[in-house]
Structure formats: C-alpha cells, structure tokens
Amino acid sequence: MAKLVDIRDVDRQFYESRLRDWLPDEIVDIHTHVWRDADYRPGAPARGQERAVTWPQRVARDNPIEDLQETYRLMLPGKRVTPLIFPMIPQEDNLEQVNAYVAECSRRTGFPALVFSDPAWSAAQLEESVIAGGYVGAKSYLSLAPAHIPASEIRIYDFFTRHQLEVHDRHGWIVMLHLPRAGRLKDPVNLAQLLEIERDYPNLRLIVAHVGRAYCDEDVGNAFEILADTRRMHFDISANTNDAVFEQLLRCVGPKRVLFGSDMPILRMRMQRITREGRYVNVVPKGLYGDVSDDKNMAEVDGTEAEALTFFLYEELNAFRQASERVGLTEADIADVFLHNARRLISGARGQP
C-alpha cells in the first residue's frame, strides 16, 4: 500500500523553520473534503465536470475521514486540528450517498459538517436535509447550476438559490461559497451579489472560499475597495498561495473575518504555485502526477528544482505568514484566523452562544 504522505527532509525543515512555532497549537480547518472512492462509479464524471478544473483529481482518489486525520498527524505535527467537513462534487446519482457518509463521519468524530446542497432542492428539502444530518450549513458548487446556463454566465443564485438562502438566514447556518465566473473575485456580478447577500440575508454565515478564487494579482481588480464596507462575510484562504492577495484581504476586512482553510486533500500536492499571464500554474515534480502536458494549470520540473518542492499546504501557510508579518498581525490575531473565528461561526450555526 502506498504511503498517504511522504514526509521528506525538505518538508521537515520547511515546517520546523517557518511554520511550527508560528502556528497555534489548536487549529480549525474550515474547508475540507471527505469522501470514499466506493461511493463514486468508476469512469462516471462529476456533475458539471466540464465547468471545473480536473487537476485536483490527480492528488487523491478519495479522502475518507481516517486519511484526513492521518494527514494532519503527518503534516502538522504537534497541532490539534478540527476540520469542517463536506463531500466532494457529486456525480449524477450519488448526492444522497456522499452526504450520508459525511454525516456519519460527523456523528462519529464530532467534527462539524456541511451538506452538499442541490439548487433543485426546495426550501423544505434543504431544511430537512441539514437538520436530519446534523449539519451546520451547506456547501454547493457552480457545476450544479442548471446545465443550460453557459459556464461564463453562471451566477451565485444559480446554485445557491434565494429560497435556500432564506432558509440559511432563518437558522443562521453557514454557507460555503465558491465564486463562479471567469472574473473570479473582481467580477462585477459576483461583487454585486455578494453585497446583496450581506444586505438581504444578515443572519446567515457566509464564507467566501479561496479568497474569492483570487489566486493571481489580476483576479482582484477593485474588489477590496468594494468589499471594504462589508461587516459580516468571512473569507477562507484555502488552496491559495498569493501573499499579496492575503495582505490586501487583511487590510480590507481585518483578521476577525479571515479563516484558515486547506481544501484537503489537494493540499497534499507537492508543488509551488506561480502565475503566467494572469493564470495560476502548479509546478510539480516531473511524472509525479501523471501526464500533465494538456493541463494549462500544471507544469513540471525535475532534478534539484523538483527536490526542493514541498507541500501545497506549507506554501499556503507560508504565504499567509508573510502577509501577516507585513500587516503586523499579533499572536492573538493569528489565533483568531486559525481557531477562534471558525469556532464562533460554527457555534453560532449550532445555535450556541
């Protein structure tokens, strides 16, 4: 059986010299995927797969809860990590199955969880699903928007419908939002709808994943100027390594509304992210993730360059550390980002003080 994670000297040195002492001993990871390979039919595509990048599938075939826990043990030694868990993008016929597995994992471990919601659900279906599964809210994805809508025209309300947002607002639940559209965070439609959600649904707990998918400097535009007057929406830093974007985020909304998230298991990838002409590219060791020659978001190196690469997780954390130092975050601020902010959101979604 292959190792789950191969910890090398370069990884140990990176973690010990840059991250271990800077990170709090207790962490909440607000963005993780948990699923079993057996719940997916071999060869069948995920719903709306043509609307999503495919490189994450190269990192892990599945991520059962035991693998997630072992990943933390190996990659974040000395830290106690509590994840917020939710499924991977479903296929056409397994949504109920993948949600049931996450609910069962949540009951067994005590980890908080989100249901993967379908925009076709009625308000009553959503409410019943969240309550019955013991979830604290929902995650959905642009690929579940109605098939007739071109990918470039998908809007937030196409996969988080207004009648569903009303349910989340009534209960104060968490909504984990992956922004659609090629413009990402800077897209004017996205920005307008983010402001509408903050205004119209003041009780739901909105998390904008991946800092609005602003992986490159070019993805930002004037977004942070527009979002500067927001007061409630939160942003997770999952699967993002752009320290300049992190710095702008911290200066815009402050450390009380920023959340650590990993996007496990893809953060196990051995890589370094660069940008080319406004597009992110994951640079990986040659051959480690198969033939990536046809993937515009992937590139390969070999020899000493490949040997120097560490984990996606460490690259993300180090980028945020660099941004936090430039902004002047205190130890208490770091504890908010990695622990207390998430705890407040989850407790609130559970109706706890």
Say what the pLDDT of residue 78 is.
98
Say what the pLDDT of residue 3 is.
80
| Angle (CA) 313 39 72, round 5° | 25
In a domain, 317, yes or no: no
Say which range, 48-62, 206-220, 237-251, has the weakest mean pLDDT. Answer: 48-62
Do residues 71 and 206 share a domain? yes
Do residues 161 and 297 share a domain? no
Q: Tell whether the model's pLDDT for residue 1 goes beyond 50.
A: no
113 with 102: CB under 8 angstroms?
A: yes
In a domain, 332, yes or no: yes
For residue 341, give both structure tokens. 């902010």
Do residues 256 and 286 share a domain? no
Say what the pLDDT of residue 235 is.
98
Burial class (CB in 10 A: 0-12, 13-18, 19+), 130: buried
Q: Tell whether the model's pLDDT for residue 230 goes beyond 90.
A: yes
Q: What percentage of the chain exceeds 90 in pLDDT?
A: 97
Do residues 286 and 255 share a domain? no
Say what the pLDDT of residue 174 is.
99
Say what the pLDDT of residue 279 is.
96
Structural domain that includes position 105? 24-269+328-349
In a domain, 315, yes or no: no
- Quote the DSSP letter at residue 291: -
3-state secondary structure of 274: strand
pLDDT digit string, tens, across residues 69-83: 999 999 999 999 999
The C-alpha atoms of residue 233 and residue 226 are separated, in whole angstroms, by: 13
For range 185-204, the mean pLDDT: 98
In a domain, 11, yes or no: no
The C-alpha atoms of residue 184 and residue 257 are separated, in whole angstroms, by: 19
Q: How many residues does the chain have?
A: 353
Residue 272, Cβ neighbours under 10 Å: how many? 17
Do residues 304 and 341 share a domain? no
Do residues 78 and 186 share a domain? yes
For range 320-331, the mean pLDDT: 98
Q: How many domains does the chain have?
A: 2
Do residues 300 and 179 share a domain? no
Residue (of 138, 230, 226) closest to 183 by Cα position: 226
Q: Kindly report the CATH number assigned to the domain that includes residue 37.
A: 3.20.20.140
In a domain, 4, yes or no: no
Q: Tell whether the model's pLDDT for residue 238 goes beyond 80.
A: yes
Do residues 204 and 64 share a domain? yes
Say what the pLDDT of residue 43 is.
85
Do residues 262 and 196 share a domain? yes
Do residues 94 and 135 share a domain? yes
For range 108-137, the mean pLDDT: 98
- Quickly tell me which residue has 């699967």 as its tokens: 239
Per the prediction, the chain carries an average pLDDT of: 97
Q: Tell whether the model's pLDDT for residue 104 goes beyond 70.
A: yes
Do residues 194 and 306 share a domain? no
- Whether this prediction's pTM lies above 0.95 is answered by yes
For residue 218, give both structure tokens. 């070019």
Do residues 264 and 275 share a domain? no
In a domain, 280, yes or no: yes
Say what the pLDDT of residue 2 is.
62
pLDDT digit string, tens, across residues 161-182: 999 999 999 999 999 999 999 9
Residue 217, Cβ neighbours under 10 Å: how many? 13
The C-alpha atoms of residue 303 and residue 159 are separated, in whole angstroms, by: 44
In a domain, 1, yes or no: no
Q: Tell whether the model's pLDDT for residue 29 goes beyond 70.
A: yes
Residue (of 117, 118, 94, 105) closest to 40 by Cα position: 94
In a domain, 7, yes or no: no
